Structure 1
Amino acid sequence: MNKTITILMAFAFFTVNALAQDNKIYLKAGLNLANVSTSDDGSYDNANGLASFHAGFMADLPLGKVLSVQPGLLFTGKGSKLETGSSTDAIYYKNSVNPYYIELPVNLIANIPLVDGESKFFIGAGAYAAAGIAGKYKSTFKTPAGTIESDGKIEFTNDDPTTSEEEGAGLGLMKRFDYGINGTAGFAFKNMLVSVNYGHGLAKLNSGTSNTSNDNNKNRVWSISFGVSL
């Protein structure tokens, strides 16, 4: 909780600073294509991507003629879906997990002005921290003996990352806190922006997976964002 408060205070500082210097604040929203890595090298099956969304605010704070900082505060959906076989097959399995987070990304941006003088191309990278607040899961397992279905709300645990203490694992039980690295690129115009973003999670999503020597069971999110300056 103390870490969350510190991050929120930092974001508030950036936002107040932006307003004081007449820098831009954007209302931002867009499409997420989310997945979860399934192998030790961090890869995943593209066919299992889950469509979701994000919405929130982003500030653009110039540090000079070329560099700027872009902190944000977003409500964002992540997760994945998995389907094996067809619903008409004798054996069929399908599940989807769709958690929602409050996310705080911060990116260092390089800006390249365009010919009109009011527009720019930007590219940058940084990090994010996120806290799970809601979500649902649903699974279907069909066999010749019958079909088993389950669904419900995701419960978030508070595993201590500094110890081996874990609270259990399961489809509907996930670690509350996520963090990782970002990449972003796009175009900013006079009163709007469009960008492509990538979030590469570094935290395991479930209890029972404290081994961090491999890169499976972590969030991977591509997104397209549209923003309007306030």
Structure 2
Amino acid sequence: MKKIILLAAVTLIGGAAIAQSTSTTKFGLKVGVSLPKYHFTNTDGDDYETEANTNFNVTGYADLPIASGFSIQPGISLQGKGSKTTGSAFGVNGESKDNSLYVEIPVNLVGKVPLGVTGASLYLGAGPYAAFAVSGERKFTVESGGSSSESTSDLKFGNDDNDDFKSGDFGVNILGGIQLDSGFNFGANYGIGLSDIRPGDNNDNGKITNRVLSFNVGYAF
């Protein structure tokens, strides 16, 4: 947690310093819907993924120009992650949903191309992120014979064998969208987790990483 806070502080201080050196620096806020899932790689090298759950994201960011058409966008995000798994057997249908909340620090390099429409630009970007889980819940739903039952439990984050997932996450973001002259923007982001979130000494059983597709609307000023 201390490393995440330190990274956030460095990001903000660096952003403020650059902001003072250019009059075109902008700050913005994005909100949207996230569709997270888990990506599994087993010991044989086979890949498979869970179904996507529905969550949310909120991101505050700075747009810091570094060259014509290019900028650095550091930010701080509340990112919903998790997964959904469904199955059935012997007339019983089951569903498991993980909902986790992460504090995420993205730093993206973004390129912008004018679209020929007054003030509108296409933007594309990519960059690394570091994240730290702050809470999580797992919900089970079972349906059988026309009736259903639900149960919930808190997810445990840490690096012990009895924890559910590691608390830290690291990966890269790929993003793109449309920026309007009015300040509004519309975009999509795909977060690719690179670090194994399986805790303890379970790495011999494979690897689990986060995948998050998100859509957002924002405003830069």
What is the TM-score of this pair, normalised by structure 1? Answer: 0.82
- 1:200 corresponds in structure 2 to 192
Structure 1 letter corresponding to 2:10: A
Counterpart mapping for 1:187-226 below 5 A? 187-190=178-181, 191-208=183-200, 211=203, 216-226=207-217
Within the alignment, does 1:152 sit opposite 2:153 as a pair? Answer: yes
- 1:17 corresponds in structure 2 to 17
| Aligned-residue RMSD, C-alpha | 2.6
- 2:52 corresponds in structure 1 to 49
Unaligned regions of 5+ residues in structure 2, if any? none
Say whether the 8 Å CA contact 2:114–2:122 is kept in structure 1: yes
Counterpart mapping for 1:110-121 below 5 A? 110-116=111-117, 118-121=119-122
Structure 2 letter corresponding to 1:93: G
More strand by share: 2
Partners in 1 of 2:177 and 2:141 — Cα distance? 39
**1:95-124 deviation per Cα after TM superposition (whole angstroms, max 9, x unaligned):** 111110000111111221232453211111
Q: Which runs of 4+ in 1 moved over 6 A?
A: none
Counterpart mapping for 1:3-82 below 5 A? 3-17=3-17, 19-20=19-20, 21-22=22-23, 23-40=25-42, 41-45=46-50, 48-82=51-85
SS in 1 for 2:203: coil
**1:142-183 deviation per Cα after TM superposition (whole angstroms, max 9, x unaligned):** 789xx98641222221x3xxxxxxx1245xx32111110110
- Sequence identity of aligned pairs in percent? 29
Counterpart mapping for 1:135-146 below 5 A? 135-140=136-141
Say whether the 8 Å CA contact 1:169–1:206 is kept in structure 2: no
Between the two proteins, the alignment pairs up a number of residues equal to: 213
Partners in 2 of 1:126 and 1:43 — Cα distance? 24
What is the TM-score of this pair, normalised by structure 2? Answer: 0.85
Say whether the 8 Å CA contact 2:123–2:177 is kept in structure 1: yes
Unaligned regions of 5+ residues in structure 1, if any? 160-166
Say whether the 8 Å CA contact 2:19–2:64 is kept in structure 1: no
**1:79-138 deviation per Cα after TM superposition (whole angstroms, max 9, x unaligned):** 00111028xx53333211111000011111122123245321111111110010112111
CA spacing shift, 1:197–1:212, aligned 2, 3 Å: farther
